[in-house]
Amino acid sequence: MIKELSGNLLLSNADALAAYAKLAGPAIMAGGGKFLVRGNAVKTYESGIMQRVVVIEFDSVEKAVAAHDSEDYQAALKLLGDCAVRDIRIVEGVA
């Protein structure tokens, strides 16, 4: 079954996002992640918030957790500092 890591990001510093993305993308892909969605919301409904959304596919929950917890990804996170509010979830996908 496919596992996905989904995240929303509210950002206050575009330069920090660029520095983060330069390290984070390769770290996630090295951990087996495949980016399915990466960008700002085009339209929202209900209580939706117009913010950046990322959905990454992994082969397993364990691989998603390992990619998030890896030294390379944690180094990328440090570049964001306190200029981002992040909401990260690992969910089971539909087979």
In the numeric block, which tokens belong to residue 56?
């990454």
The CATH class of 3-92 is alpha beta
- 84: Cβ contacts below 8 Å, ≥ 6 apart: 9, 10, 11, 12, 13, 16, 17, 20
Buried b (16+ CB within 10 A) or exposed e, 59-88: eeeeebeebbeeeebeebeebbeeebeeee
pLDDT at residue 10, as a whole number: 67
Q: Minimum mean pLDDT among 6-20, 48-62, 80-94: which range?
A: 6-20
Domain locations in the chain as residue ranges: 3-92
pLDDT per position as a tens digit, 1-39: 455 556 666 677 888 888 999 999 999 999 999 998 888
pLDDT at residue 9, as a whole number: 65
